[in-house]
Amino acid sequence: MIVELGAFALILALVLAVLQTGMAAAGRLRRSPVLAGAAEGAALACAGVVALAFAALILAFAVSDFSVANVAANSHTDKPMLYKVAAAWGSHEGSLVLWCLVLTGFGAVLARARGLPFGLKASAVATQGLLGVLFLAFAVFTSNPFERLDPAPFQGGSLNPLLQDPALAFHPPFLYAGYVGFSVCFSLAVAALIEGRANSSFWPAWGRWVRPWALASWAFLTVGITLGSFWAYYELGWGGWWFWDPVENASFLPWLAGAALLHSAVVTERRGALAGWTTFLALLTFTFSMLGAFLVRSGVLTSVHAFAVDPERGLMLLAILGATSGVAFALFAWRAPQLKGGGMFAPVSREGALVLNNVFLTAASATVLLGTLYPLILEAANGATISVGPPYFALTFNPLMIAALLILPAGPLLSWKRGDLKGVGQRLALAAGLSILIALAGWMVFEPKKALSAAGIGLGGWLILGTLAEVAERLRLFRAPLAETLRRARALPLGAWGTTLAHAGLGVFVLGAVVETGYRVEAARALAPGQTIEAGKWAVTLDSVGVVEGPNYLAEQGKLTVTLRDGSAPRTVTAERRFFPTGGQTTTEVGLDFRGLDDVYVVLGERGRTAADEPAWNVRVWWNPWARLIFLGPAIMALGGLLSLLDRRLRLGVNRKAAA
Amino acid sequence: MRRALLTAFAVVLIATPVAAQEPPPTPDRPLADATQEARAQALFNDIRCVVCQHEAIADSPAGIAADMRRLVREEIAAGRSDQQVRDDLVRRYGDFVLFTPPLRGGTWLLWFGPLAIVLAVGVGLLVMARRRPVETPALTAAEEADLARILADQAVRPDTDAKPSDH
């Protein structure tokens, strides 16, 4: 019964989305606040109804209702409750409902937003409604998660055991909140193209309206990608955290474009400049989100992450992508030339630095796009098969990002309109000098000696110190009395603190990524109980291997002791190889020993025999120095995004209160 | 008793899937020479496991990946250069096997596209910057009032470093 209600709710949501679109468009054309208000009501109701459908789906999973085909295919009574619930978004159909929930949920917040001018809001609500119509129709007509099975099986087929992990349970909700949150930026951009005038007071206000959505989505996406990467790090048991896999790239594209959007929207807000470019990025970012959905769900890519592979549905997604983005970019090509205006600026200025940031970020996303799609295009063109992997991105993507990171600390120090490069140089001289010292220290401390990795350590230091130098400058730290500094710290807007945190977090990430990639040590050997393997300064001894029984798996569990090579500082870790009888799959549970910033990463492999014919297990050990920073950095960045979002200046509705 | 039965069952279950599908991959035997082994390890990261999704043979647990690792080690031990090892693998498995795509007619755009994009955008910006005057025409009184109305908010703490022209 509840399942049928869920199916009905989904259809009702589609009807409400159609109403929302129609009434908002009609309200806009007739300038009728009543119709536009009704459209906003429909948007709220639509989100509520999708939430009901999603709740019904979760309930079906929670009680293991195997008469629902989707539950039977993706769940099992033995699964822990967390993964029963998480399985609701673990399949194509379920994750599409989550997608629609985020889309309509953000649409409802947009509908409630105060202070937007009538025309812009009605157009944006109509656009958001139209996106809802397309994706809800896709869900209702091709991917109904509530389809029944008759007869119902007694037991379900379970969820891919690799996905039964806390990080991955929360990864999709965050990822989708980011992906789909950008839909509001898309709708606001389409609305601006319809309503916008070549009028310098429109664009700063529009920049202010679009920025919180971009910030929130980008912060969510940062958390989502980091959770996914952390999962890959400790669940796949390969010792790595980013593989330039096509699906990883698909999530990285909207992140890069969204980062560019954030920065370009600042210029539009403060100076009214780059209006066309910011609009373009807003369209592009959500286009990348939809492209990602298409790539992951259509089966055109080979990836460890691809799921719910179905060419026919892929074609429908491609049609949605082509229709929405095609129309939006056509609108852009037609209207953008008429929307010129805004402040002028000298090449050396805050605006100039942000433009340069945008050049590098968009070129970087174009590179990722090229590397991801090129094998597909080439194979379609002449049948040649190539692989584009980490070495390609190291040679193309990394130089672009390094260039962007080198100029980053200078940006916030430059003044608007016309900057003083010499003054900025003086203010950053100390940070630059210290960064060179850090690079030298890195070269001396880490073994083996690697010039490039040492330079990378210096770059990470440059980002952190350069960012701190900027705050110190604004607070007149050590140059003014302490009371004056504190007064300035209180007066500094949250947005400025957010910027500082995000940039410093990037520096933390760079440090972790460079040191882990440059200096990790790997060792592998078949160990009989009692034997030891060494990796760098660590020694790992296999103490014992036993069999343990989990809720829905059986595992070989190895107990290992990690010590320094001289035997001091012992700690026990457990590493498992789990076998899931329902699906017949085997997974590894990595043993992680956190040592300060470093990880000692232990994987228990297959059972074999030593030369002396004793039972032995293939044990792989990685010493991953500073690996903690790789995940800490993005967390700090997301926190920075959150802080900026809390800045009063960005809150919607503030304007209206002031005007009243 | 149940415990013992389960344990026996588990050992069988864990052991059989591997045994049933294919012979277990031969364990890796690192080369004796440390510099040769380091070269082999570096190569493993650039070689794709031909039956896997997007994995280097350094990471893949598949049997064929183990065979490919052994092949690379043998060739290095036989004194071949890294390039010769790569060429040999490409002869056997095609360009697909390398994570670094070759530079040929069809991949020109792939390799030089990023550079071309940066140059094109950079040149476009330079041209635009030369054409446009730097100073903004002052806002009209009506525009100023409009802007003030939209952006006004008494509760906002002032940005200490902002100049009046920023708003």
B132 contacts in A (CB within 8 Å)?
344
Sequence letter at residue A442: G
Are A44 and A156 within one domain? yes
User: What phi-psi label fits residue A158: left (phi over 0), alpha (psi between -120 and 50 degrees) or beta?
Assistant: left
pTM: 0.89
Phi, psi of A604 (to 5 degrees): -90, 120
Does A265 map to a domain?
yes
> Higher confidence at residue A590 or residue B167?
A590
The whole domain housing A154 covers: 1-162
Are B88 and B45 within one domain? yes
Are A2 and A70 within one domain? yes
Are A358 and A291 within one domain? yes
* Residue B83: CATH number of its domain: 1.10.8.640
Identify whether A448 is preceded by a cis peptide bond (ω within 30 of 0).
yes
Are A210 and A131 within one domain? no
Find the CB nearest A649 among B10, B95, B156: B156
Interface mutation target, options B14, B47, B50, B54, chain A, most CBs of A under 10 Å: B54
Judge whether residue B17 has pLDDT over 80. Answer: no
Q: Which residues in A463-484 are b (16+ Cβ under 10 Å) and which e?
A: bbbbbbbbbbbbbebeeeeeee
pLDDT recorded at residue A585: 79
Instruction: State how far residue A140 is from chain B, nearest Cα, in angstroms.
Output: 31
Are B59 and B134 within one domain? no
Task: Report helix angle B63-77 to B34-44, nearest 10.
Answer: 140
- Is the Cβ of B6 closer than 8 Å to some Cβ of chain A? yes
Are B55 and B69 within one domain? yes
Does B1 map to a domain?
no
Are A314 and A393 within one domain? yes
Does B64 map to a domain?
yes
Instruction: State how far residue A150 is from chain B, nearest Cα, in angstroms.
Output: 32
Residue that is last in its domain, among A407, A437, A471: A407
- Is the Cβ of B156 closer than 8 Å to some Cβ of chain A? yes
Q: Would the CB atoms of B150 and A655 count as touching at under 8 Å?
A: yes
Q: Write out pLDDT tens, residues A558-594.
A: 999 999 988 888 999 999 998 888 777 788 889 999 9
Count of domains observed in chain A: 4
Are A511 and A484 within one domain? yes
- What is the token pair recorded at B127? 């041209």
Are B30 and B69 within one domain? yes
Are B47 and B126 within one domain? no
Which three-class secondary structure state does DSSP give residue A27?
helix
Count of domains observed in chain B: 2
Neighbours of B124 (CB within 10 A): 11
ipTM: 0.81
Does B56 map to a domain?
yes
A 286-305 residues inside an 8 A Cβ radius of B? 302-304
Are B114 and B143 within one domain? yes
Q: Write out pLDDT tens, residues A373-395.
A: 998 888 888 888 888 989 999 99
Residue that is last in its domain, among A110, A136, A162: A162
Which chain B residue has its CA at the smallest distance from A490's CA? B157
Q: Would the CB atoms of A655 and B153 count as touching at under 8 Å?
A: yes
| Strands across the sheet containing A538-549 | A532-535, A538-549, A554-564, A571-580, A585-589
Q: Check: CB of residue A653 under 8 Å from CB of residue A115.
A: yes
B45 contacts in A (CB within 8 Å)?
390
Neighbours of B108 (CB within 10 A): 11
Are A384 and A241 within one domain? yes
Does B84 map to a domain?
yes
> Higher confidence at residue A133 or residue A647?
A133
Are B17 and B88 within one domain? yes
Judge whether residue A154 has pLDDT over 50. Answer: yes
pLDDT recorded at residue A523: 86
The pLDDT confidence band at residue A621, using thresholds 50, 70 and 90, is very high
pLDDT recorded at residue B159: 52
Percentage of chain B lying above the pLDDT 90 cut: 11
Does A650 map to a domain?
no
Are B43 and B77 within one domain? yes
Percentage of chain B lying above the pLDDT 70 cut: 68
pLDDT recorded at residue B8: 52
A 397-436 residues inside an 8 A Cβ radius of B? 397, 400, 415-418
The whole domain housing B147 covers: 106-152
